[in-house]
Amino acid sequence: MIHILVFQTENKMALLSHLFPALLLLQSELQLICGAETAGLQTLNCPAPPGVPGTPGHSGVPGRDGRDGKDGAVGPKGEKGEPGLSVQGPPGKAGPAGQIGREGSTGPKGQKGDPGPPGTDYLIRSLQSELQHLKARLTTIEKATSFNTIKKVGQKYYVSNGQKAKFDEGLKFCTDAGGKLVLPRNEAENKVLAAMHAGLGSVYFLLGSSDKEHEGQFVDLNNTPLVFSNWAPNEPNDHQGKEDCAAMQSNALWNDVPCDISLHVVCEIEIE
C-alpha cells in the first residue's frame, strides 16, 4: 500500500512540472495578443496578467489496499540442523502422594544376633565391685604395714611384731589382726618364713597346724589335711605324748611341740 501511494505522488509531481512551463508560455502569448489588440481596439478587455503560481496542493487520499497475493510454491526441504544442547529442564511439580500400601506378611525369624554392650546397671555394679575390691586390698595393706616385720610371698604377707604366745593365744592374736597363724603351703613360702628367723632372733615359729583331734594326723586350721609339710627327720614323734602343735625351727624344718609353750608368732594376711 505504501508503494502505491509513493507512485501516485511521484506521477502528480511529474505532471505539474510539465504543466508549469506551458502555463508560463501561454501567459506570454496572451500578453502579446492583448497588447496588439489594445492598440487597435480600445473596447477589448484583456485579462490582467496572472499572479505567481501557488505551491502545489497536498497529496490526495491514498487508494484502497490491494488484495493479498496467492501463496507461493513450497520451497525445497532445508538441510538437517545441528543437534540442540541436552540441557535438563527444571523439575516438574510434585505429583500427588500415593496411597499407603497394605501391611505385608511377617517374614521368617532371623538368626540370633551378637550380644549387645553391657547396660548401664551392669557397668555400675561392675564399678562398685571393683571399688570394693580395691578397698579390701587397701585394708589388707594397711593391716600388714602396721607390723614391724613384713615379707610378701605370692598373694599374702607374712607379718610379725616379734611377740611370743602359746598356740591358742597366737591364733587369737592373728585373727584380731585380720589374718591367721602362719602355715606355709609350698617350698617357696617355707623359705620366706625361714628367712624371718634372723630378723626376729627366734628359734621356733608357731605354725597353724595341730593333731589335737587325731594323734599323728596334722591338719590346718580348717581341719583339712596338709598339702605341704617339711618335717625334720623322725618328726612328728609326740614326745612324752604332749606334742600336738606344729612349729618351724630356724633351719626351716618342722617339729611337733607342746601347745602350751610360748613361741614367736607370725601371722599371714592374704591379699583379696
Strands 149-153 and 245-249: unpaired
Residue 5, C-alpha cell as written in the block: 501511494
Q: Which pLDDT does position 143 carry in this prediction?
A: 80
Residue of 259, 243, 161 lying closest to 206 (CA atoms): 259
Q: How far apart are CA 153 and CA 182, in angstroms?
A: 12
Q: Confidence band (pLDDT; 50, 70, 90) for 86? A: low
Dmax over CA atoms of the chain, in Å, equals 218
Report CA-CA distances (Å) from 160 to 81, 177, 221, 262: 112, 10, 19, 15
- Report yes or no: 257 and 210 within 8 Å, Cβ to Cβ: no
Q: Confidence band (pLDDT; 50, 70, 90) for 33? A: very low
Least confident range from 60-69, 190-199, 216-225: namely 60-69
The more confidently predicted of residues 205 and 38 is 205
Segment 140-160 shows an average pLDDT of 90
- Report yes or no: 243 and 158 within 8 Å, Cβ to Cβ: no
pLDDT at 3 exceeding the cut of 60: no
Tell whether the torsion through CA atoms of 158, 159, 164 and 165 is positive or negative. Answer: negative
Q: Confidence band (pLDDT; 50, 70, 90) for 78? A: confident
Segment 132-161 shows an average pLDDT of 86
Q: Which pLDDT does position 60 carry in this prediction?
A: 60
pLDDT at 239 exceeding the cut of 50: yes
What average pLDDT is seen over the chain? 79
- Report yes or no: 151 and 250 within 8 Å, Cβ to Cβ: no
Report CA-CA distances (Å) from 257 to 43, 190, 235, 253: 206, 18, 10, 13
